[in-house]
Structure 1
Amino acid sequence: MDKVYVKGQKLFITTEEATYDGTFHSMDAGRNRLTVKDVIKHPSEEAFEGLYHFYRSEVLNVQIMDPLASPWLTPGTEIVGNRNSSIMRGVQAPPAARVPFSRREPKSMPKDMHKYYLSLLKNLKTIDEVDDNFDLAVADIMSHSIVGVSCEGAMLGRRGKLSWIGVCCPDFNADEEEASQLTAGPSSLNLYLFDVALMGTVAFSKGLKTFFEDKHSPKKVIHDCRFFSDCLYHEFDVKLQNVLDTQVAESLVSFPRMRVAEEKGGSKLVFTRSLNSCLTHKLGLSPNMTYQPNINDGFIKKNIEIWFQRPITPLMAKALTFQSIYLIHLWNKLSQALPYPAFKAGVDIYLSCVRDADDDTAFLMTNYYHLMPEKFVPILLLHHNEMRRTRSRYGKWQNTKSVREDGRKKTDSVH
């Protein structure tokens, strides 16, 4: 309930009792009561007339469903983000003062960083045919060691449909360390948007399949690969590999939110952090520099047509492209103190937990995207318990598994 909401924006709300969608109406001054109208309860499809109140104590998650109502896409829209409404002007705002997590390390981006990101769009190429340009793009991607990957479509998963794949290929100066350039910005980069909905399966048979599943392909930085992995496997017969998942990495670097689930015999439910949240907390990006993606949920079949309109609008192309660029910077930030054994185990679980489930289970799992996979929770809690013991022993956070024997930071990736 701490997100920025636009009046009239479509929301998807998850409570312990059920899931709901409706139109944002207002938020009380203390941000403890969310008021929504035109509410529909899922999966019963029961409709409620008038205004419906949700209180902080009962809400597990609130997701924005309507990309067109995002202040990032519509500068000048009145938003409700705190007690004083403000107007977005399309420039970077100061980082939020409220710190919802005790171990957050806010970092402010340079003032000219927004202009820097905009300048990169001149390198964007849209690929909608399997021709010579397609072959050159795939060849360029395969020549890199690490790339950022973003995707959009309708309810990503085996019951959904993939529409666009964005790839960011950073080029680094050979005279400088790659890690430092990932932080400051690569000397140049190439950006590609693949129109998968238009090209279909032939795009994968002619090159994208090799990129996504070959063990020697570039490392792919993705945020929450669970449903993308499921979609690729069941729609295109592609088994995603060589993934660096920033949601897994963030959960290991920062202490996660959790609560005890009484209905599951006292087991702990661990909540994930969205890409926008990670960009705000780790890179210092303000909300008007990020894009709120569509919800990937089995019950929601609304507001997804935007990703299937052709040609793609410049704003949506920019949103998808920026995500792939941000992922490169985010990965470098998170990888500096990452426990790689636990990270590798977490990525393997993320790749397979939805992909290998039966149809009914996979469908239900899309409604719990905000929760960590159950198989990963023990690994995650064990890691943070070790960190607590290390902190009590040395008086600060240390991660001895993230450095080499010679004391240098590890730079190896998941294989």
Structure 2
Amino acid sequence: MALSAQWLEGALGKSVKLTLTCGVFQGVLQHVRPGCSLLLHTVKNLETGRSSPGVKMFFSQELVNVELLGEPDSEKGTAVQSEHTSAAEEKKGADIRTADGDPWSSPCVSLERQLRALNSLSLNSLPGKEEEEKVAYTVVDCFQQKFGPAVLHLKQQHVISVIGKGVNLCRHGKLSWLQIATKSRVFLFDIFFLGPQAFRNGLQMVLEDKNILKVVHDCRWISDCLFHQYGVLLVNVFDTQVADVLQFSVATGGFFPHRTCTLQECLMQHLKLPSEGNTLMKCKQQMDLDARENPDMWFLRPLPASLLQVLALKAMYLLLLHSSLMDKLMSDFTAVVHAYLNTSQNGSEDHLGTIKPTCTELPKELRQLADVQKLRREKAVKDYRINEDGLLIRPVIELNERNPQKDETH
């Protein structure tokens, strides 16, 4: 009997036995991508007896038989190879298995309990929800239809924001989602489904394009992951964590803070997002708490819509943060240029007449910056405590009583 999408949908959440061309496995069916792949958790290899508590992906073209377990009268589904021709073609360009032939997996702890907790987190159930806190996004989890147009759109941009989400995001961790926002679109690339081919098929070209500015918060971790796992050299980066520290130094007359700010703190400080009654903040706080109980939640498929919305919002806000920080970093420059214009346009007639055009003496408009910096330093000494290293002790922005001080931005 041919394997139907309706039959598979009815098997979701149930224990199934998969007979593949390469072995026999048992697990709980979690997600189905018709004609392409199945996602199971709590997987056991029935030939070796080895159990894996993680999430495993099985390609439908490898299926020989699918059987429901624990139901004597249940039907059996037999995968017909001819039904998966298009999926096989896609797999040739999108093989996301590791070198040893096993699908990518991610160890999960108490997956059923975590999934219930995540599904209970809803944007609509949170108080203080504002319509402008919702943003349209596109989940790119296959190479057909969505991937090509998404990459084409990104290649036409001058500025994009980039955020990676996964487990222990570095050269030794795993990347699950890549969030990229432009002025008009937000894309959530499902790297767990797409695999390394996502970068070879276009994302690498975008991330390595010197003409596209990539806005990232603390680029060390995502760049480490991209370079060592996917061979991607991230270039032309505007790091909002670095920009925040430099802006702090400008605002305090040359002092540096004793610590950096998390992305969440930067959004609150520079975009004036409130810590209370804000959908992004409330979801993010709950999300961080859930991630600490089960850091592999990012490998759940399908990911709850509420979490997808948070991923999209963060990418969008990061792009806005770039504009805000640029304005602040350029504020002294803008002020001096304005003073130049004001002097020439509104100054006395003989003001510039006494100055030779070839004179390179520092103008008074620029010399006044020294006085401004002195006043800023004096104010900073009054407003902040100074540690033994001469750094200003920057207070932690209180989000709420349950919010941890460190934001897991990666």
TM-score normalized with structure 2 length? 0.47
Which structure is higher in RCO with an 8 Å CA cutoff and minimum separation 6? Answer: 1
Q: Indicate the structure (1 or 2) with the bigger Cα radius of gyration.
A: 2
The structure with the greater share of residues assigned to strand is: 1
The structure with the greater share of residues assigned to helix is: 2
TM-score normalized with structure 1 length? 0.47
